[in-house]
Amino acid sequence: MTIDIAITETLLISLLILFAGYGLNSKIPFLRNNNIPEPVVGGILFSLLLAIAHSSFDLTIEFNMALKTPLMTLFFTTVGLGASYSLLLKGGPKVALFLGIATIYILLQNALGISIAAATGLTPLMGLIGGSVTLSGGHGNGATYADLFISEYGMPGNVFELAMAAATFGLILGGLAGGPVSKRLIEKHRLKAPDYHESLDDTVTFDPEDHDRVTPKKMMETLFIILLCMALGQVAYQELKAMAIVLPAFLVPLLFGVLATNICEATKVYKISRACIDLWGTMALSIFLAMALMSLKVWELASLAGPMMLMILAQTVMLMLFAYFITFRLMGKNYDAAIMAGGHCGFGLGATPTAVANMEALVSRHGPSPQAFLVVPMVGAFFIDISNALIIQLYLSLPLFGN
């Protein structure tokens, strides 16, 4: 039996999932102490309950996910609105360094996937599916390459479902891995949020003179700017697509957000509220992740063969070790570097929203890290897909893939 859930009820259930995540995190020390994001906690619990219902009663629930993509776009637009020129000057070199680290990791990620595929008798293409195609690339990238592998390399049609399952499993593990890695680094090195963050004008801190900074009017003004960037971004995206220039759909609104915030900063015609941007972004991200996980059909993960499961678990261990020993050290061995290590676990296995959710959970407990929230989303949104595509193409050109 299949039950279709309308859009309003889907949103209601996603909020209930979030509240369940907050409740569980407040009651269970393991979840709280390891900074597991609330949407991940509530979403996994809900998906397990759905799996039980499907197994026991052959019940399937189909949700209306019409809001899912707009919420993701809204979140990335707030990321763009947060990228003021002054912050870019501070984060620029770090962005290049983090991109280099993430690119090196993608090379290792695919090497590990191909090695395990060869050792377990799978085609090397399955190593890419269990590597950066789905883990660093996410569901959209996985779907794109699954179609390519089916049409150009003769892989069976079920590789699409396998890619979706791998990307989903990676999304879950990405949400679970980042918190423990960063927590261990922070405690071992006794790290604290830098004092200079407290002096930044755009940091959300209590100020008796700014008690009305977040007002209904400010929230609506900020939403207007966000939606304007989204609308202009959609028009520009379609125009670029018509010219055969294909970019991720969320990237163009993000660029409009960057343009808007810097025009406002340069001309001083309007001051965009950082507090309102953060609130809209956090709400959109949380609901998006809840929706992504509530629609997960856990029973489809059973299609992951034993070798593929082993591959993804091995990828998780390698990324945790890489983030702990390499990302943290190369990014400066400080508090910001520890937060970025947790973020790297998020988008190295799942997606940029998972990385940001990991960091949100960490900074809510240990203190703000504006630099991490500038560097990680910029690399995840702007550059990592380009690096990933180039590296995948490099691997496909190797003789063992012989097309």
Q: Is residue 244 part of a domain?
A: yes
DSSP secondary structure of 342-367: HHHHHHHHT-HHHHHHHHHHHHHHH-
| Domain boundaries, position 299 | 2-202+213-401
Cβ–Cβ under 8 Å, residues 308 and 166: yes
Cβ–Cβ under 8 Å, residues 116 and 272: no
Can you give the pLDDT at residue 198?
A: 40
Q: Is residue 262 part of a domain?
A: yes
Nearest one of 366, 365, 363, 387 to 374, comparing CA atoms: 363
CA distance 224 to 233: 14
Cβ–Cβ under 8 Å, residues 7 and 63: no
Can you give the pLDDT at residue 112?
A: 96
Residue owning tokens 């992951």: 304
Q: Is residue 131 part of a domain?
A: yes
Nearest one of 317, 283, 262 to 14, comparing CA atoms: 283
Can you give the pLDDT at residue 325?
A: 97
Can you give the pLDDT at residue 234?
A: 94
Can you give the pLDDT at residue 387?
A: 84
Q: How many domains does the chain have?
A: 1
CA distance 318 to 175: 15
Can you give the pLDDT at residue 145?
A: 80
Q: Is residue 56 part of a domain?
A: yes
Helix, coil or strand: residue 86: helix
Nearest one of 331, 265, 293, 251 to 40, comparing CA atoms: 293
How would you classify the pairing of strands 60-63 and 2-5? parallel
Half-sphere exposure of residue 26: CA atoms within 13 angstroms, side-chain side: 6
Q: Is residue 208 part of a domain?
A: no
Read off φ and ψ for residue 63, nearest 5 degrees: -95, 150
Q: Is residue 207 part of a domain?
A: no
Sign of CA dihedral 331, 36, 350, 116: positive
Q: What is the pLDDT along the chain (403 residues), one digit of tens a residue?
A: 889 999 999 999 999 999 999 999 899 987 776 667 788 889 888 988 998 998 898 888 899 989 988 998 898 888 788 777 765 566 578 888 999 999 999 999 999 999 999 998 888 999 999 999 989 987 767 777 887 788 778 887 678 778 877 887 888 888 889 999 999 999 999 998 876 444 444 443 334 444 447 889 999 999 999 999 999 999 998 998 899 776 667 778 988 998 999 999 899 899 898 889 989 988 998 898 888 778 777 676 565 557 778 899 999 999 999 999 999 999 999 999 999 999 999 989 977 878 888 898 899 889 988 889 888 987 886 678 778 888 988 898 888 876 5
CA distance 197 to 201: 9
Cβ–Cβ under 8 Å, residues 59 and 3: yes
Can you give the pLDDT at residue 316?
A: 95
